[in-house]
A and B are shown apart, each in its own frame.
Chain A
Amino acid sequence: MRRTTLLLVTALTLGLATLTSPAQAETPKDTLVMAKAIDDMITADPAEIYEFTGGEVGTNVYDRIMRFEAEDLSKIVGGVVDSDYKLSDDGKTFTFKIRPNQKFHSGNPLTADDVAFSLQRVVKLNKTPAFLITQFGWTPDNVESLVKAIDPETVQMTITEEFAPSLVLNLLTSVVASVVDKKVVMSHDQGGDLGYAWLKMNEAGSGAFSMKSWKPNESVVMEANPDYRLGAPKLKRVVIRHVAEAASQRLLLEKGDVDIARDLTADQVKGLAGNSDIVINTYPSADTYYMALNQKDEHLRNPKVRQALRWLVDYQGMVDTFLKGQYIVHQSFWPSGFFASYDDNPFKLDVAKAKQLLSDAGYPNGFDITLDTSTQVPFTDIAQNIQQTFAQAGINVKIKQQDSGQLFPLYRARQHQMVLIYWSPDYMDPHSNADSFARNPDNSDNPKSKPLAWRNAWEIPDIMAETDAAVKERDTDKRKAMYIDIQKKVQEDGPFIFLFQPTRQTAMRKNVSGWVQGPTFDVVYYRLTAKD
């Protein structure tokens, strides 16, 4: 028996010893390796992309009509077109000149016909993000006459609805304004699908990188386009590895097996503080964390109750503790730091005031209510904190955590009482959020669209009229004042308790430089990134 034991121990030791491999190789010098959860990416077709990872990949693989460029994210400039454009007197016809000598990854020249085709294709396919440009009044029947190539260098777009020009240009920075290679796409047309089946898994862009491969839930590999109009990217290759667990991302980063970890939580970032090989950079984010109050609920329908609830949240307490470093208090629907943001945060935890308001509303002893939220960090912690402060005024909150796959259908069906969730703008114009928080064109149970005001059954003809007017206002200062007024009204009386605005902390190896990360999911650029 002793011999057997000895044999076993020897085998184990030898086994372990043989596995002591040479020191792990660092990532190649010409390749950026990123750890990120990419299981949200379900398509590579810019007419359909509407998720974070897909949007980010699309930003780098496709060029767009207008852009917030990596060198300066604060202003809109021309992408494939010149920044200067002609606008008709009625403000509805935009004429753009295509920048010369541009080529797609296929080698085909980029012309006005490709630009027109790309927009027409989005409208005709009518996938989720098509609304971004169909709100111009474009339909599958009229888009070919309203969006057309006048000549190989000139594209003209006519909108039928009145919009502020700055809004139109902003919408032309979104993913649906990506320019696709018409020849390549149509060569894969199957039964009139405009290349949809093919482009879901492939690319036909002219961006700084070409997409060499995408293995769903595994990896995305991109290679530099040396002929990109703004110059070749500094790195030859970008590899995004799907790593679902943030803790695993952290270990990979510490060992140098990845250069950037994108999904670290606040705790993990804190844990990296003493590591001299890692740098933590903080970037602004345009997300809005809020609590929704369904107006179908008799308690929440009472304006005094809504007011009381706003005074029962310990905003600063949360930001000073478990949300430290990654969130700021922001109590309106358009994020701070952007055009027309409203930065007044009047609410704080005041239990006495809340109790008085509840008493005036007829609920001196509080009531029971359900709060639905996501299982993701930090929603659970925020929900528990809210549960605790609400209880001080007699409001008993039952928290129901669920996967986003369950939460969104529930919210869309108006089956909630309260929901704790967040919102990301589709583009960097205040109308992006106003359109959802401050518009409800049809409060019936079968509307054409389900903005957030609808999901909470908030009927607001006056505020909606103001939102519709702001969209058309061509004077920038007047437009700004209108959005600030709308935000005030929604803040005071709306079925939303606005809580926080996050910043995004991205951890990277110290030899990485030039990483550009904007406030929304698709303003993340790889082409200036280098490794020393």
Chain B
Amino acid sequence: MPDVSVLTSLSAPGVGQSRLAAGLRHATRLIGSLILTFLGLTVITFCLARVLPIDPVLAIVGDRAPMDVYNAMHKKLGLDLPLYQQYWNYLVQLCHGDFGVSNFTNQPVIDDLIHRFPATFELATLAILIGVVFGVPMGVIAAANQGRWSDHVMRVVGLIGYSMPVFWLGFVGLYIFYSKLGWVAGPGRIESYYEDIVEPVTGLMLIDSLIAGEKDIFWNALSHIILPASILGYLSLAYIARMTRSFMLSQLSQEYILTAQVKGLSRTRVIWRHALGNIMVPLITVIALSYGYLLEGAVLTETVFSWTGIGRYLQDSLRHNDMNAVLGTTILIGAMYVTLNLLSDLFYYILDPRSR
């Protein structure tokens, strides 16, 4: 029977208020740290971009521009202002929701990101699903069969994924699966004659084509995405499998495993339900980090497969020293990592009763 005084104290208004106050303090600290994070991110990116040996004016007007054209563009870009003023102007603009215009696409940066991010999101999400669906079981099987042939095979498979340059894997994949076997489609998100047929609802080609009822386009999109997603998935799988194996070995050496088996639980149940369950928290961290890495945009994969994602957008922006595009993409990537951190925290809360 619970202590009535405890119950009374729990229901007292003072307790609820202190919880609310604690919650508000926590939210304030969180918002404050987010603002500081983004400020720091933009300041550092801004300064780094300014020391890049690439002339943003020449990237627009071209190498042969006469000096009067060059000077006019230099002034238009605000590059004649002191650095702190250029940064301040950008911050003011940002607070109004204006990310500026990209110098090489001539579009608002926000439009460019809205157009390109879904391509990266679609590729990264499919890749991480492949990485998790195959990588976690691989890691578990390897740990459970430590020293046996299945463990060695899994480790070699993982090592290849870890070691091989991704662009090489991409080319070899295209050569084998596209050129020779014809199992998948070539570079690009969709065949050129299917472009602009499907209304972009989510920006995710697979989902939008299903919404529009365009089955041919769906299969064509799937055929294009499966190879780059598999290659990126393979890289994620290699890392996830390795970490899963490591976490599992740590769990399997603990006494409760032996106790559970002695008590009559099957080895399968002990491994897949108990041991695996106990590594979910660090495993979520690993998966979140892998997902974040993919969401940054895999530049080399996007180049080999002509994938119009934010990886290539950021690379092109840097090559042109396009400040607005570089900062906008940096902020987006920062926001993604923050979101992933928050989601990870939520998963910890759900999975680990000790954190509640």
Contact = CB atoms under 8 A, between A and B. Distances in A.
Interface in B174-214: 174-175, 178-179, 182-188, 191-193, 195-196
Contact of B304 (A12, A33, A248, A405): A248
- Please indicate which of the listed interface residues B185, B186, B226 has the most CB atoms of chain A within 10 Å of its own CB: B186
A24 B54 CA distance: 42
A245 B303 contact: yes
B50 interface: no
A51 B319 CA distance: 16
Given A19-B226, A128-B69, A405-B54, A8 B134 contact: yes
Given A241-B192, A243-B306, A244-B303, A50 B62 contact: yes
Nearest to B55: A409
A383 interface: no
A21 interface: yes
A217 interface: yes
Interface stretch (B87-95, B103-111, B282-290): B103-111
A20 interface: yes
Nearest to A247: B171
A521 to B, nearest CB: 13
B192 A408 contact: no
Interface string A33-45: 1000001001100
Interface string A16-29: 10011101110110
Contacts of B192: 27, 31, 33, 219, 221, 239, 241
Nearest to B184: A19
B3 interface: no
B29 to A, nearest CB: 41
A402 B54 CA distance: 10
B186 A216 contact: no
Judged by DSSP, the binding face of B is helix
B231 to A, nearest CB: 14
Contacts of A12: 134
A248 B268 contact: no
A5 interface: yes
B67 A405 contact: no
Contact of B69 (A126, A247, A248, A412): A126
A218 B137 contact: no
Interface string A401-412: 011011011111
Contact of B185 (A21, A126, A449, A450): A21
- Please indicate which of the listed interface residues A24, A51, A131 has the most CB atoms of chain B within 10 Å of its own CB: A24
Given A243-B306, A247-B171, A126 B68 contact: yes
Given A25-B191, A248-B174, A248-B304, A408 B67 contact: no
A213 B222 CA distance: 25
B105 A217 contact: yes
Given A241-B188, A449-B66, A4 B141 contact: yes
Contacts of A201: 106-107
A254 interface: yes
B63 A412 contact: yes
Contacts of A403: 54, 319
A294 B306 CA distance: 39
Contacts of B171: 247-248
B104 A42 contact: yes
Nearest to A44: B106
B193 A1 contact: no
A43 B183 CA distance: 38
A126 B76 CA distance: 14
B150 interface: yes
A262 to B, nearest CB: 14
A408 B63 contact: yes
A183 interface: no
Given A21-B185, A406-B54, A409-B53, A450 B67 contact: yes
B291 interface: no
B11 to A, nearest CB: 50
A75 interface: no
Contacts of A20: 183
A257 interface: yes
A78 B126 CA distance: 56
A219 B189 CA distance: 12
Contacts of A19: 183-184, 222-223, 226
17 contacts: A5-B141, A8-B137, A24-B186, A31-B192, A127-B69, A128-B64, A130-B69, A216-B105, A251-B186, A257-B185, A257-B191, A406-B53, A408-B58, A447-B67, A448-B67, A448-B68, A450-B67
Interface of A: 1, 4-5, 8, 12, 16, 19-21, 23-25, 27-28, 31, 33, 39, 42-43, 50-51, 126-128, 130-131, 200-201, 213, 215-219, 221, 239, 241-245, 247-248, 251-252, 254-255, 257, 402-403, 405-406, 408-412, 426, 446-450
Given A244-B303, A251-B175, 18 more contacts: A1-B141, A24-B185, A25-B193, A50-B62, A244-B306, A244-B312, A251-B186, A251-B187, A252-B186, A257-B185, A257-B191, A403-B319, A408-B58, A408-B63, A409-B53, A409-B54, A412-B55, A412-B58
